[in-house]
Amino acid sequence: MSKLKFKILKKIWNARVGEINLNWVRLTTPIFMPVGTKATIKGLILDMLQDPKYIWDLPIINLILANTFHLYLRPWDQLIKDAWWLHKFENWNWLILTDSWWFQVFSLWLNQNSRGDYQATDEEKEFSHEVKIKLTEEWVKFNSPYDWSKHFFTPESVVDIQCNLWSDIMMVLDVCSPTDCDKATIEKQMQMTHRWAKRAFDHLEKKYDKVRWVLFPIVQWWIHTDLRAQSIDFLSQYARDWIAVWWVSVGESKELIREIVEFTWPRLPDDKPRYLMWVGTPEDISHAIENWFDMFDCVLATRLGRHGMAFSDDGNLTIKNAKYKSDFSPLKDNCPCFVCRNYTKAYLHHLIKEKEMLGGILLSFHNIVYLNSILEKWKKEKLWISWDT
């Protein structure tokens, strides 16, 4: 029996509002999940996500992400378990999703090898070691980008690591196929991911009824729609609580990503929440909502904020541009966030130009709240949801 309870409150055309109940926490979808890779959302105190002083009249944010790969390596999942698990460790009393580890290793490897169009993240740029990977049917071996130490992951061990973290929502170990793979190789890796998924769910099944955790399968397989269809057919049997979709790989066009979203959504189980991974621009989230997806995450909101960019109704604002030096208006009129209610573009421009860390913090927070305000607008205006529903 599923521990995650989901019901659809309202739907119109290909969009819907739902309610999720898990571990005594209620979520209303669609929802954007801020990314706290290393047990922190960079620069933010987590209480800001729930304090009316900072988010005004928006519903509180009560689901965030952390990363299995990074927390396993540093500070170590066993240490976090000894600290009474991740919730206590980072002082967060709500839900935590720990995402799949493979993309982090894959993207680090790309950064140091062939993909000239791939843009490295801040975390990737700090690593001085080359990441090496050996993939077999039984396990994947990799060296730590921090200290060159060698590690093995299996579908079972990744479940156990996330159990040590006490994640509310866990993701399976999957293979993230590089875009330069031929289709035959991608199909082999898809079949391996399916076998790994079975191993992960068989491993968790032994204790599923005794613990609070739920585990999600991940549908991917790049631009090959026939493989995506196969993957959906196979992995839907494991969508006891939820199903996740990884869009394509890294660096594809917005048009291609949207084609995959539109192909995928009608084939997913319609009685389960759908999680579209790594989607975080206002326009992409809106498109995904229109294609019956419920949950989204991306580092883009905070990454752009740290680099002096803010979401707005008129596109991304590059606050360091000279035109904002004497602009005493907020980033967005009627934005509920603390930043727009208290600071002007001119002040934010000053902080960014002076490389003051507060500038990136304020812009990051605005971007997170802005995305959540878009979702609330969808619920209340386009889907006509009243909070009395």
Distances (CA, A) of 307 to 121, 294, 297, 301: 12, 28, 19, 10
99 catalytically annotated = yes
Long-range pairs for 316-322 at CB < 8 Å and ≥24 separation? 317/345, 319/345, 319/348, 319/349, 319/352, 319/359, 319/363, 320/349, 320/352, 320/353, 321/349
Separation CA 135–CA 99 (nearest Å): 20
- The DSSP secondary-structure symbol of 35 reads B
Separation CA 121–CA 103 (nearest Å): 12
Separation CA 345–CA 334 (nearest Å): 14
The residue type found at 360 is G
Query: Tokens in use for 71?
Result: 């927390």
Cα separation of the two ends of the chain: 26
Catalytic residue among 77, 174, 294, 297: 297
The residue type found at 97 is L
Nearest partner of 169 among 241, 97, 277, 271, judged by Cα = 97
Phi-psi region of 106 (alpha: psi -120 to 50; beta: other; left: phi over 0): alpha
Residue with tokens 């199903």: 243
Read out DSSP for 205-216?
Answer: HTTGGGSS-EEE
Query: Tokens in use for 360?
Result: 């990136």
DSSP strand pairing (15-22 vs 5-12): antiparallel
Catalytic residue among 77, 99, 168, 284: 99
Strand order through the sheet with 95-99: 63-67, 95-99, 169-171, 214-216
Catalytic residues: 99, 297
